[in-house]
């Protein structure tokens, strides 16, 4: 009797440890079916968001620019910094630099900026090469003028403006421009009305779903070191449920140095993207010294690891590997 109880206790403990491991590692359970982009087009293009591509010593499959409302297509800047094989990514922010706190969503929906958006669409079409257009990112945060938190807690206001923009881009920008619906991985505030799914404009208005994920380490009183799977588990699952017919991208990802080892974190990110989150077809590391030093370019171990992983194989830094997305 005693031995049977011990065996039962050991089996229960082993089962509990096994379940803990599955949760800790966010392992895929045997009965979980793969979605379309978890099976199709294997590989993940690696890239870097940099303020100075001419000085960047890291390979990148993307070249990225931030645009405020009223900015023109950055043709001159693009010509000065064009990494070979890199896809242009534009994060287009619907706020005016002189009035960053004023929401423009109502005016955009009302058509007051149609001519400006049409001019941008024409410039994108003239550019003639693949572009990922990331408009109004992180609407489920509470820090941008276009967020739901600063627009009456009504995501529909954002959706209406997005659809207005998307209609103009669909008409005037041409098929090489893909629209990226990009959200913060964590809903801030974490309330039901603010879930990022509530901002989704619909499958006909977006081509890609982008997730932003940051490991703040111990750089803030409220933050702690988080593993990649802790940041990606829930938003990845939710994004696939929301838009199973869209590929995913990590539109912004980075880790601070405080609280852990950045190179180890980056290595774990590479591993998890390949083995657990294969619907992610590209990522862009936020290589800025801003709230903290997010950069991998300034960390020799991280830069060396990034260079090795992106030279070939699953994470090659070559935008040409996304030719399937642009119908090429």
Domain 43-322 has CATH 1.10.20.10: no
Contact 281, 322 (CB under 8 A): yes
Helix 262-275 × helix 300-310 angle, to 10° = 20
Give the Cβ contact number of residue 121 at 10 Å.
21
> Could you report the per-residue pLDDT of 34-91, keeping only the tens digit for each?
999 999 999 999 999 999 998 999 999 999 999 999 999 999 888 765 556 899 999 9
Q: Is the pTM of this model over 0.75?
A: yes
What are the residue ranges spanned by the domains of the chain? 43-322
> Could you report the per-residue pLDDT of 242-297, keeping only the tens digit for each?
999 999 999 999 999 889 999 999 999 999 999 999 999 999 999 999 999 999 99
Residue 167, classified by CB atoms within 10 Å of its CB into exposed (0-12), middle (13-18) or buried (19+), is middle
- Closest Cα partner for 90 from 108, 102, 77? 77
């Amino acid at each position: 009797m005693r031995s049977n109880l011990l065996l039962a206790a050991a089996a229960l403990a082993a089962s509990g440890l096994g379940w803990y491991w599955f949760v800790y590692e966010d392992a895929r359970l045997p009965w979980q079916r793969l979605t379309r982009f978890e099976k199709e087009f294997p590989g993940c293009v690696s890239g870097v968001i940099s303020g100075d591509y001419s000085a960047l010593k890291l390979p990148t499959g993307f070249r990225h620019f931030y645009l405020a409302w009223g900015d023109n297509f950055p043709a001159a800047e693009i010509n000065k910094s064009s990494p070979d094989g890199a896809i242009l990514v534009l994060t287009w922010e619907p706020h005016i630099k002189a009035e960053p706190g004023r929401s423009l969503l109502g005016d955009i929906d009302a058509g007051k900026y149609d001519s400006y958006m049409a001019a941008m669409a024409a410039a994108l079409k003239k550019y003639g090469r693949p572009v990922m257009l990331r408009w109004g990112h992180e609407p489920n945060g509470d820090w941008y003028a276009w967020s739901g938190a600063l627009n009456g807690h009504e995501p529909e206001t954002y959706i209406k403006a997005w659809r207005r923009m998307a209609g103009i881009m669909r008409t005037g920008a041409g098929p090489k421009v893909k629209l990226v619906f990009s959200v913060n991985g964590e809903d801030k505030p974490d309330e039901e009305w603010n879930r990022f799914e509530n901002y989704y404009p619909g499958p006909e208005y977006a081509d890609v779903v982008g997730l932003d994920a940051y490991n703040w380490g111990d750089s803030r009183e409220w933050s702690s070191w988080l593993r990649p799977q802790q940041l990606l588990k829930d938003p990845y699952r939710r994004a696939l449920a929301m838009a199973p017919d869209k590929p995913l991208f990590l539109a912004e990802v980075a880790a601070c140095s405080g609280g852990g080892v950045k190179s180890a974190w980056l290595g774990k990110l590479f591993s998890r993207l390949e083995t657990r989150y294969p619907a992610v077809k590209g990522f862009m590391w936020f290589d800025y010294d801003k709230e903290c030093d997010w950069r991998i370019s300034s960390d020799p171990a991280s830069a060396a690891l990034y260079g090795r992983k992106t030279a070939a194989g699953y994470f090659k830094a070559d935008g040409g590997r996304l030719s399937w997305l642009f119908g090429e």
